[in-house]
Amino acid sequence: MNDKQIAIKSENLVKKFGNFVANDHLTFEVAQGEIFGFLGANGAGKTTAIKILCGISKPTSGNIRVAGFDVYTENEKIKKNIGYMSQRFSLYEELSIWENLRFYGGIYGLSAKTIRERSEAVLKRLGLEDQRNAHVRSLPLGWKQKLAFSVAILHRPGIVFLDEPTGGVDPITRRQFWDLIYEAAADGITVFVTTHYMDEAEYCQRVSIMVDGRIVALDKPTALKNTYSCKSMEEVFLKLAR
Amino acid sequence: MEAFIKKEFFHIFRDVRSMMILFGMPIVQLLVFGFAISTELNNAGIAIYDQSRDPMSKQLVQKIVSSGYFELQQVFSTNAEIEAGFKSGKIKAAIVIGKDFEKHFIQQDGAQIQIIADASDPNTASIISNYLQGITRAFQAEKLPNLKLPVEIKTESRLLYNPEMRSVFMFVPGTIAIILMLVSAMMTSISIAREKETGTMEILLASPLKPWQIILGKVTPYVILSFINAMTIVVVAWLVFEMPIKGSFLLLMGEAILFIVMSLTLGILISTVSPTQQVAMLLSMFALMLPTILLSGFIFPIENMPVVLQGISNIMPSRWFIIIMKSIMVKGSGFMYVWKETLIILGMTVFFGILSIKKFKIRLS
Amino acid sequence: MRTILYILQKEFIQIFRDKFMPRIIFGMPIMQLIVLSFAATFEIKNTDIIFVDDSHSIESAHLISKFEGSAWYTVKATVRNYNEAADMLRKNQAHQILIIPRDFSEDIARGNKASLQIVTDAVDGSAAALRNGYAQAIISGYQKDIIVQKTGLDHFKQPIETSTLFWFNPELNYQTFMVPGILVLLISMMGMFLAGMNIVKEKEIGTIEQINVSPIKKSQFIIGKLLPFWLIAMFELAFGLVLAKLIFNIPMLGSVGLLFLVAGVYMVLILAIGLIISTVSDTQQQAMFIAWFFMVIFILLSGLFTPVESMPEWAQRINYLNPIAWFIKIIRLLMLKGAGFAEIKQIFFILLVYGSLMMTIAVKRYKKRV
């Protein structure tokens, strides 16, 4: 770990809403280029943490740096270096695929030429070349999510945050989605992904498991299975969450 | 079904801000309208150009200024100043007193007074002109008490139902109509459009609930809200503005419920044709709010409108509702006097109801 | 700057792709302008009158014929007793009753004071006042007729002769007064509601997070969001002014350029208020309700329908914060009276300061991070 660059570093991240502690002293590091799984049941506090790391929510306390920048003072700098795909669907339904790509490329300040080139590449990669003018509304959910992911990394960020990216999608499409994630990681993009599908946890290089706002385990999936002597991540999770 | 209505209620009441607006707004509006909206003349800015400056003309000016209707803003000494005065927007009228006022007055051969009114507001201009003429007539009668005309007719005026000509009688029924229309029609249409927009409508439709149950569930909270609002307005109007309820209170509330149900069906109809909340909102605003204010007789009398608009006003439900409420509250009429209007609103309810059911079915299939 | 263009592009596509929005944004206000301008009038063009004639004389017939001859009156009926007439008034079949007593003609013949009674339905107070005035005017015309008849003078002069000139609108055309105001109303409603709902809409569907997580600057985002509405409002104003000229023949005595300058500043203020509403609301329904609340109060206190001077002191003080009241005042001064910059500069600067202040608050309130 030490010889690699650190993409995300969180020390004692705390977030309180009134008396409710959503994130309780989260401490972890994510290395550059790593696929990091952020697991937990619904309501465990994953989305809260991800919003803090993305700079759209303020932490209550803790020492947190993302892409080398401090989340308290340099959150606008962080935003230049990250991509984000939210749990809720984030594309404009009434715009076409092409218009969505152009819009998001535009607000990240890419040049018109870059937008055109990269959008073409995305359409080609997803096999959507013929449907570039189709309204996003008319696409099946799985396509929408693959497109949303491609939009999130259109500006080639160092880190991409994915909040439940495969919610409600069939197993085949999920598999295809993970292929996209591997490709991004191969290009050197750090992937920070939350999920509650435990089979997906196996695809991650390292995972943390959150229960009631606290991280209760953090290691490689194989190591966790050994520690808790389980056959699958599913079992590990059930053991810890109980 | 019950659970569903509860959920809708919870949805509305959970949000304190919405609640405050829903119940606070009607009262605030009623108070603002009641105290502030007045067509009576008060403190209109005037200017005087007195070409005589003799004792008699000064007395007349004194009489005008002390009447309470006018506020002397400027005193002119040339004709050119008059136009500049109007352009500054400070004065509504200029009074020019002709030369040798006193002399002509004593000789009784037509002392001249010219009133120049800013008719860019024609209503105020004619009222100002009438008031000023009234004051000069009174002045004349006071100074020449023995002046006898060959024929004199004394006219006694009686203003029935509203002798003090208080505008509260006009706007309380109007405000009730607006608020009921807003809460019932606008809020329902937006609330249903919202379910469509966020996709939760599909979930509801997929549930074992029948479409009419869904609709009933959605509108019941608004019926109750609107009804509470109607009661509140009537009570506040009665306590604060002494708005009478000469007729039957029960009849009034019955008519209010009928109007609420009518508004709700209208709201449902709007929501069936609106794909998004914005469209529902804009449709309700332009199709309901402005016509309710302007074509219902709330502010502007219907009989003065062009024939085409009088025709259009016939299809404004609020027009009939306002007539009903005025008749019951101010004139104390019973059901016999308002059954026609009631029937019209009932007919509209049925019509909108059938139309929205049809639209709703088409959408489903 | 380029970033703003991308947002503009997206906003315009969203507006014009929608099946309803363009129709509503452009069609509705125009229709409203035309319909409402005809509707909004306080003129009383017709009064239905009932006579209770106990006199049955040549004099009473003469008086009734005076009413029949008036363009403002329709004679509904002549009845024998008052109760019958009062019942018709209650049923809304007539507005006014004129009671001519039994000794009316004798009193006139003997030179006594003759008396008449006018009864008016005063549920609508201001209409009643006008109707009462009309009836009095006809009666005093009748009185003059009789005087001329009796004395043989061909002209009768009062000690004080009062005449009235109506400046700026000699025909007392109500539309001249209303159209500029309604125009202001429509662009204000459009601007405030659209701006009020726009950002909430992105909040509701969740795209706002995607924007917030991008490096876009707050100011860029807000300009990109509001500029389309500003442009639409300006376009509507221009179009409305053309209609006002063509259909209603409303004069435009002042400078068009100056009007647009003021309108430009005014719209910034309106959009800023809309934006503030948007930032404090969680749902479009809420935003709409808040916008509606302020709108109705602004409209009714603005002097569009009823004179501001007639309002109590506190209401006039509220009007210092009422942008619609300021702008209606300016637009009437400019169009109908031909005021120049010197005459409106005070209000112009009020709008300018108010607009900048609200915009600052709006930008401050919109937070990319919560």
Beta bridge mates, A219: A207
**pLDDT for position C369:** 67
pLDDT band at B18; cut points 50, 70, 90: low
Mean of per-residue pLDDT scores for chain B: 80
Better-scored residue on pLDDT, C132 or C326: C326
Whether the Cβ atoms of residue B52 and residue C320 lie closer than 8 Å to each other: no
**CA neighbor of C328 nearest in space, from C353, C303, C365, C362:** C303
C-alpha torsion sign, points B243, B245, B249, B251: negative
Mean pLDDT, residues A132-143 taken together: 88
Look up the CATH number of the domain holding residue A200: 3.40.50.300
**Interface test with chain A among C213, C216, C225, C368, by most A beta carbons within 10 Å:** C213
Torsion angles phi and psi, residue A55, rounded to 5: 85, 15
Give a yes or no: residue A128 inside a domain.
no
* Closest partner CB to C215 (pick from A80, A88, A90): A80
pLDDT of A114 above 90: yes
Partners of C205 on chain A (C-beta within 8 Å) are 88-89, 93
- The per-residue pLDDT for range B207-247, each reduced to its tens digit, is 677 777 777 777 888 888 888 888 888 888 888 888 888 88
Dist. CA C145–CA C64, nearest whole Å: 14
Dist. CA A169–CA A171, nearest whole Å: 7
Give a yes or no: residue A100 inside a domain.
no
- The per-residue pLDDT for range A94-111, each reduced to its tens digit, is 889 999 999 999 888 889
pLDDT of B17 above 70: no
**pLDDT for position A89:** 67
Give a yes or no: residue A135 inside a domain.
no
- The helix/strand/coil state of A236 is helix
**Interface test with chain A among C2, C220, C369, C370, by most A beta carbons within 10 Å:** C369
Whether the Cβ atoms of residue C69 and residue C49 lie closer than 8 Å to each other: no
Mean pLDDT, residues A171-179 taken together: 90
What residue of C is the nearest CA neighbor of B116? C165
ipTM for the complex shown = 0.81
Do A57 and C368 lie within an 8 Å CB cutoff? no
Q: Are strands B93-97 and C47-53 parallel, antiparallel or unpaired?
A: unpaired
Better-scored residue on pLDDT, A56 or A149: A149
Residue C152 contacts B, CB cutoff 8 Å: no
pLDDT band at B37; cut points 50, 70, 90: low
Give a yes or no: residue A75 inside a domain.
yes
Residue C19 contacts A, CB cutoff 8 Å: no
* Closest partner CB to B115 (pick from C24, C135, C164): C164
Cβ-based neighbours of C177, under 8 Å, separated by 6 or more: B120, B121, B122, B123, C169, C332, C336
Give a yes or no: residue A207 inside a domain.
yes
**Record: fold of C47-151:** abc type-2 transporter like fold (3.40.1710)
User: Can you state the percent helix, strand and coil of chain B, rounding each to 5?
Assistant: 70, 10, 20
Better-scored residue on pLDDT, B176 or C238: C238
CA distance C220 to chain A (A): 9
Dist. CA C339–CA B88, nearest whole Å: 7
Mean pLDDT, residues C226-246 taken together: 91
Partners of C197 on chain B (C-beta within 8 Å) are 277-278, 281
Chain B touching partners, 3 or more CB pairs below 8 A: C
- The per-residue pLDDT for range C44-73, each reduced to its tens digit, is 778 899 999 988 888 889 899 999 988 889
Q: How far is CA B112 from the centre of its chain?
A: 39
Torsion angles phi and psi, residue B117, rounded to 5: -110, 145
pLDDT band at C356; cut points 50, 70, 90: very high
Cβ-based neighbours of B163, under 8 Å, separated by 6 or more: C122
**pLDDT for position B179:** 78
C-alpha torsion sign, points B304, B309, B312, B318: negative
According to DSSP, residue C305 is labeled S
Residue C118 contacts B, CB cutoff 8 Å: yes
* Closest partner CB to C177 (pick from B120, B278, B282): B120
Q: Which of A31-35, B212-216, C17-21, C249-253 has the highest mean pLDDT?
A: A31-35
Dist. CA A78–CA A71, nearest whole Å: 7
CA distance C66 to chain B (A): 15
CA distance A200 to chain C (A): 24
Lowest-pLDDT choice from A207-211, B148-152, C194-198 = B148-152
**pLDDT for position C130:** 78
Mean of per-residue pLDDT scores for chain C: 85
Do C90 and B109 lie within an 8 Å CB cutoff? no
Q: How far is CA B186 from the centre of its chain?
A: 19
Q: Which domains does chain B possess?
A: 2-37+165-364 (no CATH), 44-143 (3.40.1710.10)
Better-scored residue on pLDDT, B289 or C205: C205
Whether the Cβ atoms of residue C187 and residue C236 lie closer than 8 Å to each other: yes
Residue C219 contacts A, CB cutoff 8 Å: no
* Closest partner CB to C39 (pick from B22, B160, B294): B294
pLDDT of A159 above 90: yes
In chain C, where the domains are located: 2-40+172-365, 47-151
Do C6 and A102 lie within an 8 Å CB cutoff? yes
What residue of C is the nearest CA neighbor of B15? C286
Give a yes or no: residue A112 inside a domain.
no
What does B288-310 look like in DSSP terms, one character per residue? IIHHHHHSSSSSS-GGGS-HHHH
Partners of C9 on chain A (C-beta within 8 Å) are 102-103, 106
Dist. CA B51–CA A38, nearest whole Å: 91
Partners of A91 on chain C (C-beta within 8 Å) are 207
Residue C6 contacts A, CB cutoff 8 Å: yes
Chain C touching partners, 3 or more CB pairs below 8 A: A, B
pLDDT of B161 above 90: no
Q: Are strands A35-40 and A206-211 parallel, antiparallel or unpaired?
A: parallel
What residue of B is the nearest CA neighbor of C127? B301
* Closest partner CB to A106 (pick from C6, C205, C206): C6
Do B182 and C292 lie within an 8 Å CB cutoff? yes
What residue of C is the nearest CA neighbor of A92? C207
Partners of B129 on chain C (C-beta within 8 Å) are 164, 166
pLDDT band at B138; cut points 50, 70, 90: confident
- The per-residue pLDDT for range A27-66, each reduced to its tens digit, is 999 999 999 999 888 888 888 999 899 888 889 999 999 9
Chain A touching partners, 3 or more CB pairs below 8 A: C
Residues from A in contact with C at Cβ < 8 Å: 51, 54-58, 75-77, 79-80, 82, 84, 86, 88-95, 99, 102-109
Q: Which of A70-79, B24-33, B237-246 has the highest mean pLDDT?
A: A70-79
CA distance C188 to chain A (A): 27
* Closest partner CB to C215 (pick from A56, A79, A88): A79
Dist. CA C134–CA B127, nearest whole Å: 12
CA distance C277 to chain A (A): 21
Cβ-based neighbours of C267, under 8 Å, separated by 6 or more: C187, C191, C229, C230, C233, C234
pLDDT of A13 above 60: yes
Dist. CA C1–CA A107, nearest whole Å: 10
Beta bridge mates, A163: A194
CA distance A205 to chain C (A): 25
Whether the Cβ atoms of residue C227 and residue C4 lie closer than 8 Å to each other: yes
Mean pLDDT, residues B331-336 taken together: 80
Burial of residue B242, with CB atoms counted within 10 A of its CB: 0-12 exposed, 13-18 middle, 19 or more buried: exposed
For residue C88, give the H/E element and its range.
helix C82-90
Domains contained in chain A, number: 1
Q: Which residues 219-278 on chain C approach chain B with CB closer than 8 angstroms?
A: none
Dist. CA C369–CA C274, nearest whole Å: 20
Domain extent for A221: 6-89+140-241
**pLDDT for position A193:** 93
**B128: its two tokens:** 């100002």
pLDDT of C258 above 90: yes
Identity of residue A223: A
* Closest partner CB to B300 (pick from C41, C315, C343): C41
Partners of C368 on chain A (C-beta within 8 Å) are 55-56
Residue owning tokens 């509705």: C28
**CA neighbor of C300 nearest in space, from C330, C324, C273:** C324
Q: Are strands A35-40 and A190-195 parallel, antiparallel or unpaired?
A: parallel
Whether the Cβ atoms of residue B131 and residue B41 lie closer than 8 Å to each other: yes
Give a yes or no: residue A1 inside a domain.
no
**pLDDT for position C124:** 72
Q: In what order do the strands lie in the sheet with B152-160?
A: B152-160, C113-121, C96-100, C47-53, C73-79
